[in-house]
Amino acid sequence: MTAAHQTRDVPYTADEMFLLVASIDLYPTFLPWCAGARIRKREMDGEQEVLTADLIVAYKVFREQFTSRVVLDKAECVIDVHYVQGPFKYLANKWRFEPLAEGGSRIHFFIDFEFRSVTLQKLMNGVFSKAFTRMMQAFIDRAEDVYGTQKPIVAVE
């Protein structure tokens, strides 16, 4: 089992960060180790948009595709990802974007997964902490590229 949670304050609004993370089809253009992304299906469930999405993750000789059900709750600024199919025993992650009174937003990102393959799990355990931090930073860097440089906000650990 591999799980982690990270919280970061950024100078971008909760809505801006929500839209950036919800743009799954653009992940290969900026997200490390994301070799491909495809939205298979989009539908509405009340006020929430529900996507079925495929991602291809590649790291060294490792290359795997997996499918997730992604629930976009724009009103609450929450993105829930539920594993459907692929190389995992399970995978869950959640993004929550909280507006800050002084401007910007606080990003809460949680991920929990386990591979079916012991070999893949051991490989990932060795690089997970670094990869998790790098992934969060890739979204923040993408926000700067898309929305421009803004007054920095001190990060929360």
Name which residue leads in pLDDT, 90 or 121. 90
**pLDDT digits over 42-60, tens only?**
999 999 999 999 999 887 7
Range with the poorest average pLDDT among 25-39, 109-123, 131-145: 109-123
**DSSP structure class, residue 75:** T
Radius of gyration for the chain, computed over Cα atoms and rounded to the nearest angstrom: 15
Task: Give pLDDT tens digits for 72-82.
Answer: 999 999 999 99
Its pTM stands at 0.87
Kindly tell me the number of DSSP H helices and DSSP E strands found in the chain: 2, 7
pLDDT (tens digit, 9 = 90+) per residue, 62-71?
A: 788 999 999 9
